[in-house]
Amino acid sequence: MRIRRIPTGRQKRKRRVRTSFLFLASLAAAGTIFAAGAYFLFSLNLPKLKNIGDYRPALPTIMYDREGNEVSRFFTENRELVSIDQVPSQVVNAVLSIEDSNYYEHKGLDYLGIFRAFLKNLRAGKVVQGGSTITQQVAKSLLLSNERTYSRKFKEAILARRMSRRFTKDEVLGIYLNQSYFGNGSYGIEAAAKSYFQKHVWELTLPETALLAALPKAPSTYDPTRNPDKALARRNLVLERMSEEGYITDQERTEASSTPLGLNPRLPDPLDPVSYFAEEVRRHLYEKYGEEALYRGGMKVYTTMDSRLQRLAQDAVRQGLKDLDKRQGYRGALQSVSTGDFPLALETLRNENGLKDYMPGVTDILPWKKGDIVKALVLRVDKEGADLDFGGPTGYLPLSEMKWARPPNPKIDYGEYVVKRADEALRGGSIILVRDLGTTDAQKKRLYALEQDPLAEAALVCMDAPTGQVLAMIGGYDFKRSEFNRATQAWRQPGSAFKPIVYSAAMDNGFTPSSILVDSPIIYDDPSQELKWKPSNYSEKFYGPTTLRTGIVQSRNVITIKLVQKLGIQAVIQYARRFGFGGTLPEDLSISLGSMGITPIGLTSAYTVFANLGLRASPWFILKVEDRDGNVLEQGGAELVRSLSEDTAFIMQNLLRGVVQSGTGWRARSIGRPTGGKTGTTNDMIDAWYMGFTPKMVTGTWVGFDEEASLGQNETGSRAAAPIWVSFMEKALEGRPVLPFPPPPPGIEMVKVEPDSGLLAGPGADRFHYEAFKIGTGPREYARQPGRSGGQYGGRTYTPGYAPQTEVPGLLPRDF
């Protein structure tokens, strides 16, 4: 029989204690395991920061011009790193006063502050307050999350404790100053100082310092550009806290608090001239290094761009297109409003023209200056002009500044129709664009000129001939209007600008500048379209026997076509490839007149052959790319490729100089320097080109519509494109020494010839020039002189070595 023992009361108590102990121990163990698990879980994917060198924030890729000046940035976070040693104590004091006055006393976490925030969040039922120290704020910014959850707060606390153990207080504060967002796209206090005041952080005044310290709390709320009153109040709070902490005196606080915000923001250039060049560089960097490196990697990109030339190029393109647009006629008002709607229209103009604070007699300074283009309402118009209102200020548009405003008609030359009455072009109630002339009339009315935005587009490329470096590039009228870069992406027919390639092939295949072809009507069958092609010259005339010099100088189409017919189409295609023409080339006689496609930068590269005596330079934009640590990732350069012999290239250089001296490129003479070039015009004036060069610089210009359309009657390369080239080159070469072209190579001799026949010009000849020939290929007969018998001059024939004894008009050997 089994006897059951009954436990005593003491034993029962011991058992309960032991059970409770085991329960508490199990609970503690479970809590420890849970805490360890939570710590492990929340520690996953935290930023790895073992030392200050691990702090690698996103930095912008900075683009520099050839002189080392910053010109553009590519970024997701616009940041500039500064060491804590570069930050004045005044800045540190301002930040600590408003953000974490006990910063140097706690170990990363302010437990009392956290407890207060916990109670407030508990009452609210959600996370509404952080109670964060500077260390926690740094941790929060490194977590790349703004979510208000307890899990993020745990992660933030873990990272803050780690940072406090591994970094010094100054190191953490340095991260805070570089990592924090200050609004307006500025990350870090140095970027903010430049953005709001265009200063370095060490140049800030006390009020400026206090304003920047006020921003990280709520950059949008306290944005001084949008909410100046809130920003001012927050700034003054910072100054008050600095005074309470003993960093500044009460007098300093009072003086600083009474100081205006004094912003001097770094405003973007509305007509940023760098945009097209920068976009070309950006595309290259993106394709080669990827998105992360481009926008966050902090690369330094040193480019070939000359900032002065880039701005000059933009100015020349924009002015050239405006001039062209006026020749095309006036397309009409932006909109028309009825008399009853004038008040609403004027209020709209007041806002659009930045006249919010304009008050006649009080604050009547105009927000625009001479040359600026603004919108205006035509109040009334008569034959003499129009009265304008801009939404407050008024002005006058005289007839003399709108005579160009004829109705558009591409079949009528602009000179055939001039507006004779202002009311022919304008009506009362019209909203129009006008340009401030900066002058007044006898009645003290401010004068304006009628304007409109051009529809046509243009491109300009300027290259350093010996190296191929792209010095300037403009891809259109306005990058904001269209980011399409016509300089590098638009494939357009070069027209007559292709003819020098044809003539280069001819000079290598038995022809000379004095060779004669007959300029006469021709008809070719076009089997592909069952049509007959009857090419003609631009003038619609034929000129009979013509030297090749005259053929290219005057851009005669028929001569070039007959030349291609003699050379063979395949020979011309071969030479086009030598000059860098890619893609499919037409295998018919239309190639004579440039019926293929090429980009403006491609054609500019082709013309380096003539400036470099036969060497073609490929275009390139980047001198060097460095990573954020200064390691060189890439160095630019391009190998020169021989496309022509020196002798042939010199002959072509001589001929293209003749195009400027006495041919279609005559406008380029105005730069007053040795230069050569060639115009280009396609059928129906759809494309207009001027390609020109000096001994060291090659510049190409193109003008046309994106959607192919005629530029207008007589809008040839000479009229539409060459003025842009001249405007740019005159200023680009200003102050630079006048460089001569190189002398003839050993295989070339200069011969005095009569221009019409291409034969030798004898003593006493009235008309002549000096022609370049490969030795042994020049003319041997003298040109027939008026009043002389026989085809030779006294029976003499040419002998090599002939040289002029006196200086005579024309291109002399010393010019080469």
Residues annotated as catalytic are 99, 496
Give which of 146, 168, 177, 150 is closest to 49, Cα–Cα: 168
Look at the block and give the residue holding tokens 């105009």.
366
What one-letter code names the amino acid at 711? L
Give which of 454, 724, 462 is closest to 600, Cα–Cα: 462
| DSSP H helical ranges for 46-133 | 89-99, 111-124
How many H helices and E strands in the chain?
A: 22, 26
Rounded Cα–Cα distance for residues 567 and 541 (Å): 24
| DSSP H helical ranges for 598-637 | 600-611
Rounded Cα–Cα distance for residues 666 and 529 (Å): 38
Helix (H, G, I), strand (E, B), or coil: what is residue 515?
Answer: coil
DSSP assignment letter at 598: B
Rounded Cα–Cα distance for residues 609 and 616 (Å): 5
Q: How far is CA 468 from CA 489, 605, 690, 734, in A?
A: 18, 7, 19, 21
DSSP assignment letter at 302: E
Rounded Cα–Cα distance for residues 392 and 369 (Å): 16
Give which of 648, 674, 645 is closest to 741, Cα–Cα: 674
Backbone dihedral region for residue 723 (phi beyond 0: left; psi -120 to 50: alpha; all else: beta): alpha
List the structure tokens of 735.
């102050």
DSSP assignment letter at 4: P
List phi, psi (to 5°) of 585. -110, 140
List the structure tokens of 191.
């970027």
Contacts of 625 by beta carbon, 8 Å cutoff, 6+ apart: 285, 299, 300, 301, 302, 632, 633, 634, 635
Q: How far is CA 390 from CA 126, 367, 679, in A?
A: 53, 11, 43
Cβ-contact 768, 752 below 8 angstroms: yes
Helix axes 499-507, 569-578, angle to 10 degrees: 110
Angle at 801 (CA atoms; ends 799, 802), nearest 5 degrees: 75
Alpha-carbon dihedral 77, 83, 84, 87, rounded to 10 degrees: -80
List phi, psi (to 5°) of 531. -125, 160
List the structure tokens of 234.
């927050």
Q: How far is CA 454 from CA 271, 276, 331, 377, in A?
A: 15, 18, 10, 20
Pairing of strands 300-303, 676-681: unpaired
SS3 content of the chain, % helix, strand, coil (to 5): 40, 15, 45
Q: How far is CA 579 from CA 490, 505, 617, 691, 713, in A?
A: 18, 11, 10, 14, 31
